[in-house]
Amino acid sequence: MVILLAKISPAIAFAADSSEFDFFEQKIRPVLVEHCYSCHSVGARDSKKLQGALLLDSAHAISIGGESGAVLVKGKSAESLLIKAMMYDGIEMPPAGKLPDDVIANFTKWIEMGAPDPRVGDSNLAPKRQINI
């Protein structure tokens, strides 16, 4: 019985991770790409349009935060600056207009889930190498 449980537990854990990652890919990443990356990505940094020193295009970057500090507190959406900004509570992001309540609810759920993010590595944080002549 113990051996059977040992074999089943990783499969259950993988299924949970898979569904959480699916949630991220379906509900979170598309919003980040459409509404956030123009100001908060390596591309924005490279084109000198990065705002608040905040990158949102990698899990590692999100965990670091920006000039205002940590952007989210895993498992605690009410303490997360990302949710406050999306709700236009002090900071108003995205600046083009408040996102629909269901989108904010998805981000709240994602943070409460522990902000699972399948994006690995921190290669996005490396500064672009240039030779200045």
Structural domain count of the chain: 1
Check if the beta carbon of residue 75 is closer than 8 Å to that of residue 114: yes
Task: Confirm whether 10 is domain-assigned.
Answer: no
Give the domain extent around 25.
20-118
Coil, strand or helix at 126? coil
Identify the residue with better confidence: 16 or 59. Answer: 59
Kindly tell me if the per-residue pLDDT of 129 is higher than 90. no
Whether the predicted model's global pTM rises above the 0.85 cut: no
Kindly tell me if the per-residue pLDDT of 41 is higher than 80. yes
Task: Confirm whether 130 is domain-assigned.
Answer: no
Task: Confirm whether 4 is domain-assigned.
Answer: no
Identify the residue with better confidence: 58 or 13. Answer: 58
Query: What confidence tens digit (pLDDT) does each residue in 107-123 have?
Result: 999 999 999 999 987 64
Task: Confirm whether 8 is domain-assigned.
Answer: no
**Which pLDDT score, from 0 to 100, does residue 18 have?**
87
Query: What confidence tens digit (pLDDT) does each residue in 92-108 have?
Result: 999 999 999 999 999 99
Helix intervals (H) in the chain: 2-23, 29-31, 42-46, 59-64, 81-86, 101-112
**Which pLDDT score, from 0 to 100, does residue 17 have?**
76
